[in-house]
Amino acid sequence: MRKEYKERIWGELDDMKTMCKTGVLFFFIILITILSGACGGSQGITGGREAAVEFFGMNTYMKLTAYGDGAEDALERAESKVAELESLWSATDRQSEIYQINHSAGQPADLSEETKEVISFALKMAKQTDGALEPTIYPVLTAWGFTTEENRIPDEAEIAKLLTRVGYERVEFSDGRIWLQEGMELDLGAVGKGYTGDILTELLKESGISSAILDLGGNIQTIGSKPDGSEWKLGIRNPFGEGSIGVLSVAGDTAVVTSGNYERYFVGGDGKEYGHIIDPDTGYPVDNELASVTIISEEGKLADALSTSMMVKGLAGAIEYWRAHRDFEMIAVTKDREIYLTQKAKEAFVLSDAFGNMEIKEVE
């Protein structure tokens, strides 16, 4: 399973040669020069030793790679941090803060700094996306079996009833304390890994790491450039099957997060596919023209929140949201094989040969 996963997600393509970097936050470079390939062969690590840890955390396979002196120790601390955050945020672990909140029967719950921060961010993004991101979707998610892997199709009456327990506007959150009405439950599934990426980035940088790539189950976060100063090459997952639709070049501290219902879905008795991203308006899994959305941002938590919520909004809604904000880059793949990219994403993206027939469109 690990090998399969690596082939699927881990997107660094070492056999490509690159050029320089510029810019302020994160930079994209067109790979037209791949073919210039003057130097051929694999790149050497000039900035120090490579160290990596691989483990299962937050219900997914993670691989953290860092370069330079002290990389092993820093990665060990990063792995422990993931375990610590998971123990705070798991919706199923009875000891977790989220479990306590979800079972506090209307009583306020006190929270750790990191939990406060992630909840406050999730609520802010819920508002900003008009509820497309809905951190209280958990009761509906459970009814579809996505929390237990015993999938089923709930009937309309059941969904309508469960939706009365959903609504971020009714969460009271102040002075670091949270009140959930009885029956309501939080789920950080859409933002937790992204925020974890931000926390790990900070931790690694504080440990003196200036070059690293973190794969948190498909959420990729980079620190600095590759040790030889070149950009990272990230494969963007093919939502229709194996492999990647193309390669994105990034440098600097950058998060690249992809969401899609292909990640987790089941086939119902009616032959239809039902995915794990729920439209909070209907209580049904999202079923629009989008196959996947990739968000590129300096911040993992923003990229994570937006990749999920742009899937909910659909193509037109996602483009409208981008036009209103313009503080992130986006790659949206439709089920009929069109690919919409914002300008900087387009400049940094090279389509795989196998997807050469995909229609590329720039979002302006």
- Distance separating alpha carbons of residues 68 and 314, to the nearest angstrom: 42
Copy the structure tokens of residue 40: 């051929």
Does 331 sit near ligand AMP (CB under 6 A)? no
Q: Which does 134 bind (CB under 5 to 8 A by kind): Mg ion, ligand AMP, none?
A: ligand AMP
- Under the binding rule (CB under 6 A), the answer on residue 276 touching ligand AMP is yes
Q: Which residue is nearest to ligand AMP (CB)?
A: 189
Q: Considering CB distances under 5 to 8 angstroms, the limit depending on partner class, which of Mg ion, ligand AMP, none binds residue 312?
A: ligand AMP
Report the partner that residue 277 touches, choosing among ligand AMP, Mg ion, none (CB closer than 5 to 8 A by kind): ligand AMP
* Residue of the chain from 307, 313, 317, 319 that contacts ligand AMP (CB under 6 A): 307
Q: How far is the CB of 263 from ligand AMP (least distance, A)?
A: 6
Tell me: does residue 312 bind ligand AMP (CB under 6 A).
yes
By the 10 Å C-beta count (0-12 exposed, 13-18 middle, 19+ buried), 316 is classed as exposed
The one segment of 109-117, 127-135, 231-239, 341-349 that binds ligand AMP by CB under 6 A: 127-135
Q: Is 196 in the site for ligand AMP (CB under 6 A)?
A: no
| Count of residues interacting with ligand AMP (CB under 6 A) | 19
Q: Which is nearer to ligand AMP, 59 or 87 (CB)?
A: 59
Site stretch for ligand AMP (CB under 6 A), options 165-173, 176-184, 300-308, 351-359? 300-308
Q: Report CA torsion sign: 93, 94, 100, 103.
A: positive
Give the footprint of Mg ion on this chain (CB under 5 A): 190, 304, 307-308
- Please report whether residue 348 would count as binding ligand AMP according to CB under 6 A: no
The one among 259, 294, 297, 334 contacting ligand AMP by CB under 6 A = 259
As a whole number of angstroms, the distance between CA 246 and CA 24 comes to 24
Q: Is 185 in the site for ligand AMP (CB under 6 A)?
A: no
Nearer to Mg ion, 245 or 293 (CB): 293
Positions in 139-178 near ligand AMP (CB under 6 A): 141, 146
CB 186 within 8 A of CB 166: no
Q: How far apart are CA 156 and CA 148, in angstroms?
A: 20
Q: Give every CB contact of residue 165 below 8 A, 6+ residues apart in sequence.
A: 136, 139, 181, 183, 184, 185
Quick count: other Cβ atoms within 10 Å of Cβ 12?
16
- Binding segment for ligand AMP (CB under 6 A), chosen from 97-105, 128-136, 148-156, 346-354, is 128-136
Strands (E) across 219-263 are located at 219-223, 232-237, 244-250, 254-259
Q: Give the total residue count for the chain.
A: 364
Per-position b or e across 45-54, b if 16+ CB within 10 A of its CB: eebbeebebe
> What is the distance between the alpha carbons of residues 345 and 113, in angstroms, rounded to a whole number?
34
| DSSP codes joined into one string, 261-293 | TTSSEEE-TTS-EEES-B-TTTSSBP-SSEEEE
Least distance CB 253 / ligand AMP (angstroms):
20
Which spans of this chain sit near ligand AMP (rule: CB under 6 A)? 133-135, 137, 141, 146, 187, 189-190, 259, 263, 276-278, 280, 304, 307-308, 312
